[in-house]
Structure 1
Amino acid sequence: MPRLVLIDGSSYLFRAFHALPPLSNADGEPTGVLFGVVNMLRAHLKEQPDYIAFVVDASGPTFRDAMYPEYKANRPPMPDDLRAQIEPLMAIVEALGLPLLRVPGVEADDVIGTLALQAAADGIEVTISTGDKDFAQLVRDDGDGRIALVNTMSGTRMDSVDAVVGKFGVRPDQIVDLLALMGDKVDNVPGVDKCGPKTAAKWLAQYDSLDGVIAHAGEIKGKIGDNLRAVLERLPLSRDLVTIKTDVGLEGGPRTLAQRDRDIEALRQLFTRYGMSQALRELDGDAAAGTSAKDVGNGNGNGSARGAGFVTVPDGGGESPDPALSAPGEYETVLTQARLEHWIQALGEAEGFAFDTETDSLDPLRANLVGISLCVEPGTACYIPLAHDGPGAQAQLDRDAVLAALRPLLADAGKGKVGQHGKYDIHVLRRHGIEVAGYADDTMLESFVLESGRTRHDMDSLAKRYLGYATIPYSEVAGKGSKQIPFSHVAIADATRYAAEDADVTMRLHRVLAPRLAADPGLEGVYRDIEIPLVPVLARVEANGVLIDTGELRRQSADLSKRMLALQQQATELAGRTFNLDSPKQLQALLFDELALPAKLKTPKGQPSTNEEALEAIADLHELPRVILDYRGLAKLRSTYTDKLADMVNPDTGRVHTSYHQAGAATGRLASSDPNLQNIPIRTADGRRIREAFVAAEGRKLVACDYSQIELRIMAHLSQDAALLRAFESGADVHRATAAEVFDKPIDAVDADERRAAKAINFGLMYGMSAFGLARNLGIGRGEAQDYIGLYFSRYPGVRDFMDRTRQQARAQGYVETVFGRRLYLEYIQKGNQAQRAGAERAAINAPMQGTAADIIKRAMVDIQGWLDGQAGRAQMIMQVHDELVFEVDADFVDTLLAEAVERMSSAADLRVPLVVDSGVGDNWEQAH
């Protein structure tokens, strides 16, 4: 299907001016709007639509001014800095070959609306690029065509009726009525006083349309009803003012809006004048390569994994960039011994340096080094190619000789190294015989500690946010898809531009982020004392890996297959016919049409759901849903673990090596992937059986050390509730002690059901569980569950006070903190809809506990690894899973390891209650529990 992109230029002009920091060229001319809008254009041109147009308001009055002379009367005059950028921007748009539309007598909205409907009717898929909510009235994905909205500044997309309802609470055809009721202060469109979006949406849900609201205005009570009745006569006018006109007389239709060839010389002059140095570089590169008009802005037509081209400005939360840190760098290719010695001397004289590696694999434990880049000062960097072997490759320095020359510097603990996600590079260099020491800073972690949940932490995002700099995309130098070449085949000149930039941008980012961390001692402590020391520890744990018994996995897979087949046969007998258990469509027909079971949950499209929650809801009504759930559980275990783990064994080590992610969860908890050790199920016998395949090498044992109820202990520490502190200090079973408090009976009189209820309350409250959730968890009535919660708070008032106090603090400052000062931002605690705020309040309660638990086990890992380094390999840390550490230990060293690990884990934090560590030993992971 052909695609048309209609760009609301007027919207982006004002949004770029007000949202982005002021920038100027060397002559002091304003350029912020130019950078912001041109980058938005770049994003669309990269997608290569069939048709495209840039639409702006023409000067002079429109038909709406005739309808209502006060229309937009409140708008202030256009700022001079914005006015000065309009004509230069129009010149850039024209030179880029984009159709530029300005139609007198109507607004840009009306031109866009007319073209959108024409295109949709003609079978063209339409994307309207805008930040204006009024366009939601045009969204559709039905028999009348496809029209979607995209906001390149926020990255959001709205392409269906459900999406509009989710955003505004009304259908697209009700948007004009919603806007009429609300009014618009910016455009001076009168509405109902004090009527906000929620009230307007509620009225339209009840009465369907503005006409319906007007007809039933007498039924609406209170002051808001009086306000509505006071403006009934003018509401139709307001609706006319906010309705986008879709029948504007235009000279050409959508199919006349193809992009023209660019005017290279005009673009060169404009980019030069307004200081768009990277855009100019890219332009000259495109011209030399002979790229087509549609290749503009997408890295010579190769796409991007990292993003490149025009200089960008920071997105929300960023700061105005230092021009020196956003300027192009000067990069050198090191091909001679003399130049290598020059850089060795520069590194030796510097206090520290940034480094980065280029390899032939994303798996650092299998990657071969292709080259290395180095930077001492921002703006200057080098690339040392070591294994480029593509057609026409130049002669390069010997890899072993280069690494031998760099080894003393990289292994010098007194010389600080800076990286971006440097754990990868540490692995690669260790694989090539260099143990990196003195790893002092990591820009990914600097950003993560500063703003854990508020931004992405990859280099491209950070460069854009903090430097106003767009990095060269990988695909620009290596291609993409089936045409992508290995980095070793990339021309050395291109590889230098790409690789040296990595080291340079890393150093630039460090110069920006380090002072921000230093300004906040609490965050600086988290970074220096927890995250940075953990990097080499995680690298060591990943490199150690865990031995897998592939024969045990094959046996488990065979057993699971037999049981799955038996469940299929049982399901067939229950259904009275054959059907595909893996087909949601067939399950819908069987369960809800043939068997007439109630559909208690629906999909977003209104169909009966067959997900796990939906089947659990009807599992007590018929045997078949339970059989399907059992089948799915076994199928997931087989596909995710017993079949897959054997394929993940590293052929060089015979072990599985997971990857740990420090900058994954905002709370600071580690995540893992390939394989994801955190998700191995432990609540079923089949899930626990998988751990039997994680085994110790001959002559060794596995030791597991697990924090006991650590988050509850942190709750006791933070809340200082006397009864909860007393329960932990006494060493009693805390759930049984809680049951004794809640049910007011001696602890030895508590039965199993009461303990189970207390345990559900203890853990549920930390995760914001409601009475409804507790009732479902325990299989009791909602009223009884609410009574349990009330009893709990009456016996543990300190917990209730802590939760109330934490919510208040979170609303006041927008974040909460762990015991160690890690800051956890809560985006929706002060804004968003009611559900988002409620979710943020639940997170405010849980995040300090989960984050503190994450900090504690990280501190323990650093401490224990420091001790292990002196034990001559008799024990090694091989896994971290939630609150558990797993070690592989010489059989005769187990007692020593246990004593040291338990002691160091127990003393990793000084809480008001003791940290208790459970431990076990076995030939496999399951036995160690």
Structure 2
Amino acid sequence: MTTLMLIDGNSLTYRAFFALPTDMATASGQVTNAVYGFTAMLINLLRDQKPDHLAVVFDRPEPTFRHIALPSYKANRDESPDILRQQMGLVRQVVEALRVPVLDLVGFEADDIIATLATEAEARGDDVLIVTGDRDSYQLVRDPHIRVLYNKRGVSDYALYDEAGILERTGVKPTSYVEYAALRGDPSDNLPGVPGVGEKTAAKLITTYGGIDGIYENLDALTPKLRQNLAENEEKARNNCELMLLRRDAPVTVDPDELNIGNYDLDEVRQVFDFLEFNALYPRLIDALGVTDDSVPAESTDLVLFAERSDLLTATDAVGVLRALADSDEPLAVAALWAGAEGRSTLEGLAIVTDAESADVAWIPSAVLALPEVGGALADLVGDSGRPLVAHDAKALIRSFEELDIDLRSLSLDTMIAAYLLDPAESRYALETLLEKYAHARLPDSDGPPAGQLDFGGDTEPDGQSAACRALGVHRLIAPFNEALVARGLADLNATIEVPLVRVLARMEIVGVGVDEIELRRLNDSLIARCDELRAEICADAGEEFNVNSTVKLREILFERLGLAPQKKTKTGFSTDAASLEKLRGQHPIIEHLLSYREVEKLRSTYGEGLLAEIAPDGRIHATFNQTVARTGRLS
């Protein structure tokens, strides 16, 4: 059966633009964050969903029939940033280079074209996957053929919806979604809904009465306020229905054969990727398409550990290997193994790649590493004049080396940091993930390596084998990462800021932060006393003793017993968050006391009790500083 993937080009490009930093640019200065993010998303979709047919659909700048019917339609939207608009043409170039149809239509939105093509494909018996960040497409879902892959945020966070999924997400079936949305409204399109009707109320009304017609036929059964709001806004609700209904008869004509994937010219594709300096993305595209390109080096996934040289169990053997390794200036790939948390538990051993071509890895157990002569040889190897060292999450290794009186100063590449620089919007930088993404390799299963994965033979201990495998994996990433960093203009940033920062942060974690524990305990006691006072005042305001931290009970006190007006409704009931309480400030003394209590309680739990729990036996707090969490580059 054929699967047609329909991509909302504007929606995904917009998500990519705001997910990735705008300092992503080519050597000539062309900003590429949006087109890079879109291209990465497209590659992942091709790899994961494997569609047979594909089209990318865009909006046009001209007014649509909706703007003509309602001039205020989408009038509240800010103009797109210039650097986003400048990349829309580049996105089209990438798609067109793949010979994928790029569709748009004057007077219609991309959603209407998608609705039309999806309806036609369903009639042919084809499966359809709509990829979008626009909830209007929920109305198109039809089992078993049409599903929506909804981009929730960023470049990799999706939710796949069939009819059951839409019902669970919204409370209504896809066939009722338009009326549900019309009642609720869509602020992003400047389409206000019926006042007082949110998602839950809209779903309940439609479930009870079948739709807008049924609702208006049964107004007398509703509460006075809801009845009034619906009656006064009937025209608005019905107009919303007309505007939100996607057209399934847009005058777009596409022969299904034109949607086939595979009509591309790899030379043309490569030229576009070279122009955009997407060196790391091109091999991923080739892999996703399942084709070969002689210009892309073949990636073997069969790395075999030469077992005879795996274990160095004596000081003589270990020192001999370490001294021999010092004679080269090639990057040295290593991986460590810990008994528990990396860098914060006992180091069990170190794996060092001694010959990458033959997959030769030396494993030095912790007992041997602790010997003075071995530690000295290793310190020379990784010191100021030692070999350039490459590791994954080198900060953990630096901390453990510190306990052995080894100062790791020759770090040249941390594969975790490099991956973050290349794709700061990614959520995971595990070595396993990076190997699949950049080196087309896999780590072996713990039960033994399947065919086609990194392989290890011989009699090494399982733990040593695991570390040796990871060391080979680290080595496998050196070339693609160095190439990608240079191509993206990030090599200098990596070498002069990010890599040196790894050592600085490791040192900060090792030294820790001095704490006056006596003063901190006094402060914590003071905060506890103030929390008790505020709790008593809140209960006095309420007229009864209750658990102030219980959201359910607090709702009952505020909105039922005291009669305060709810400000916002969530899935579980009326909100009692800080923003909602701020809007009620001045309406009752309990609000002021609640806000004060929450501020003091947060100080107590975070900086009183929270910090006390983190004080180590040496009287200091040894925090963890993360370089790869925030896409803005800040530490966490």
**TM-score for both structures, normalised by structure 2:** 0.59
Aligned to 1:13: 13
Aligned to 1:271: 273
Q: Tell me if 1:473 matches 2:281.
A: no
Q: Deviations over 1:308-333 (max 9, x none)?
A: xxxxxxxxxxxxxxxxxxxxxxxxxx
Q: Tell me if 1:35 matches 2:41.
A: no
Task: Determine what percentage of the aligned residue pairs are the same residue.
Answer: 26
Quick check: 2:333–2:474 contact (8 Å CA) kept in 1?
Answer: no
> When the two structures are aligned, how many residues end up with a matched partner?
498
1:389 aligns with one of 358, 364, 380: 358
Quick check: 1:58–1:107 contact (8 Å CA) kept in 2?
Answer: yes
Aligned to 1:173: 175
2:453 aligns with one of 440, 465, 485: 485
Q: For 2:40 and 2:409, locate their aligned partners in 1 and report how far apart those are by CA, in whole Å.
A: 34
- Map 1:238-249; keep pairs closer than 5 Å: 238-249=240-251
- Map 1:703-782; keep pairs closer than 5 Å: 717=525, 720-721=528-529
2:155 aligns with one of 132, 153, 156: 153
Quick check: 1:62–1:107 contact (8 Å CA) kept in 2?
Answer: yes
Q: For 2:329 and 2:35, locate their aligned partners in 1 and report how far apart those are by CA, in whole Å.
A: 39
Q: CA deviation at 1:369?
A: 7.1
Quick check: 1:25–1:274 contact (8 Å CA) kept in 2?
Answer: yes
Quick check: 2:5–2:55 contact (8 Å CA) kept in 1?
Answer: yes
Q: For 2:57 and 2:45, locate their aligned partners in 1 and report how far apart those are by CA, in whole Å.
A: 14
State the one-letter code of the partner of 1:262: Y
State the one-letter code of the partner of 1:5: M
State the one-letter code of the partner of 2:477: Y
Aligned to 1:753: none
Q: For 2:159 and 2:378, locate their aligned partners in 1 and report how far apart those are by CA, in whole Å.
A: 46
Quick check: 2:398–2:503 contact (8 Å CA) kept in 1?
Answer: no
1:398–1:769 Cα change, 3 Å: closer
**TM-score for both structures, normalised by structure 1:** 0.43
2:211 aligns with one of 198, 209, 212: 209
Tell me the SS of whatever aligns to 1:126: strand
Aligned to 2:304: none
1:513–1:116 Cα change, 3 Å: farther
Q: CA deviation at 1:9?
A: 0.5
1:357 aligns with one of 326, 335, 345: 335
State the one-letter code of the partner of 1:486: L
Instruction: Tell which deviates more after alignment, 14-23 or 131-140.
Output: 14-23
Q: For 1:27 and 1:249, locate their aligned partners in 2 and report how far apart those are by CA, in whole Å.
A: 41
Tell me the SS of whatever aligns to 1:192: coil
Q: Deviations over 1:9-48 (max 9, x none)?
A: 1212333344543243333333222112111112112223
Aligned to 1:164: 166
Q: For 1:120 and 1:209, locate their aligned partners in 2 and report how far apart those are by CA, in whole Å.
A: 25
Unaligned runs of 5+ in 1: 304-334, 348-353, 373-384, 391-395, 447-456, 532-712, 725-763, 773-800, 820-847, 864-906, 910-929
Q: For 1:38 and 1:133, locate their aligned partners in 2 and report how far apart those are by CA, in whole Å.
A: 22
Q: CA deviation at 1:440?
A: 10
State the one-letter code of the partner of 1:529: G
2:477 aligns with one of 485, 493, 498: 498
Q: Deviations over 1:617-657 (max 9, x none)?
A: xxxxxxxxxxxxxxxxxxxxxxxxxxxxxxxxxxxxxxxxx
Q: For 1:178 and 1:70, locate their aligned partners in 2 and report how far apart those are by CA, in whole Å.
A: 21
Aligned to 2:512: 529
Q: CA deviation at 1:129?
A: 1.4
1:176–1:69 Cα change, 3 Å: same
Q: For 1:493 and 1:363, locate their aligned partners in 2 and report how far apart those are by CA, in whole Å.
A: 21
Tell me the SS of whatever aligns to 2:189: coil
State the one-letter code of the partner of 1:386: D
Tell me the SS of whatever aligns to 2:137: helix
State the one-letter code of the partner of 2:128: V
Tell me the SS of whatever aligns to 2:202: helix
Q: For 2:251 and 2:524, locate their aligned partners in 1 and report how far apart those are by CA, in whole Å.
A: 71
Aligned to 2:598: 807
1:495–1:415 Cα change, 3 Å: closer
Tell me the SS of whatever aligns to 2:147: strand
1:461–1:81 Cα change, 3 Å: closer
Quick check: 2:53–2:261 contact (8 Å CA) kept in 1?
Answer: yes
1:516–1:163 Cα change, 3 Å: farther
State the one-letter code of the partner of 2:6: L
Q: Deviations over 1:730-752 (max 9, x none)?
A: xxxxxxxxxxxxxxxxxxxxxxx
1:160–1:484 Cα change, 3 Å: same
Unaligned runs of 5+ in 2: 302-320, 444-448, 458-468, 515-520, 533-545, 555-591, 622-636
Q: CA deviation at 1:302?
A: 8.9
Q: For 1:771 and 1:190, locate their aligned partners in 2 and report how far apart those are by CA, in whole Å.
A: 32
State the one-letter code of the partner of 1:106: F
Q: Which has the larger radius of gyration?
A: 1
1:817 aligns with one of 606, 615, 618: 606
Aligned to 1:921: none
1:468–1:203 Cα change, 3 Å: closer
Q: Tell me if 1:138 matches 2:140.
A: yes
Quick check: 1:3–1:127 contact (8 Å CA) kept in 2?
Answer: yes
Aligned to 1:317: none
Quick check: 1:718–1:802 contact (8 Å CA) kept in 2?
Answer: no
The CA RMSD over aligned residues, in Å, is: 6.1
State the one-letter code of the partner of 1:408: G
State the one-letter code of the partner of 1:13: T
Q: For 2:326 and 2:273, locate their aligned partners in 1 and report how far apart those are by CA, in whole Å.
A: 36
Quick check: 1:371–1:387 contact (8 Å CA) kept in 2?
Answer: no
Quick check: 1:177–1:209 contact (8 Å CA) kept in 2?
Answer: yes
Q: Deviations over 1:820-854 (max 9, x none)?
A: xxxxxxxxxxxxxxxxxxxxxxxxxxxx66x854x
Which one has more relative contact order, counting CA pairs under 8 Å at least 6 apart? 2
Tell me the SS of whatever aligns to 2:512: helix
1:804–1:301 Cα change, 3 Å: farther
Q: For 2:199 and 2:474, locate their aligned partners in 1 and report how far apart those are by CA, in whole Å.
A: 53
Q: Tell me if 1:408 matches 2:376.
A: yes
1:387–1:70 Cα change, 3 Å: closer
State the one-letter code of the partner of 1:33: A
Aligned to 1:112: 114
Q: For 1:808 and 1:209, locate their aligned partners in 2 and report how far apart those are by CA, in whole Å.
A: 45
Q: CA deviation at 1:292?
A: 4.3
State the one-letter code of the partner of 1:485: Q
Q: CA deviation at 1:89?
A: 1.6
Instruction: Tell which deviates more after alignment, 250-259 or 101-110.
Output: 250-259
Q: For 1:262 and 1:111, locate their aligned partners in 2 and report how far apart those are by CA, in whole Å.
A: 23
Tell me the SS of whatever aligns to 2:280: helix
Q: For 1:259 and 1:436, locate their aligned partners in 2 and report how far apart those are by CA, in whole Å.
A: 58
1:227–1:473 Cα change, 3 Å: same
Aligned to 2:73: 71
Quick check: 1:356–1:499 contact (8 Å CA) kept in 2?
Answer: no
Quick check: 1:2–1:124 contact (8 Å CA) kept in 2?
Answer: yes
1:518–1:46 Cα change, 3 Å: same
Aligned to 1:192: 194
1:407–1:342 Cα change, 3 Å: farther
Quick check: 1:478–1:487 contact (8 Å CA) kept in 2?
Answer: no
1:109–1:411 Cα change, 3 Å: same
Aligned to 1:611: none
State the one-letter code of the partner of 1:178: Y
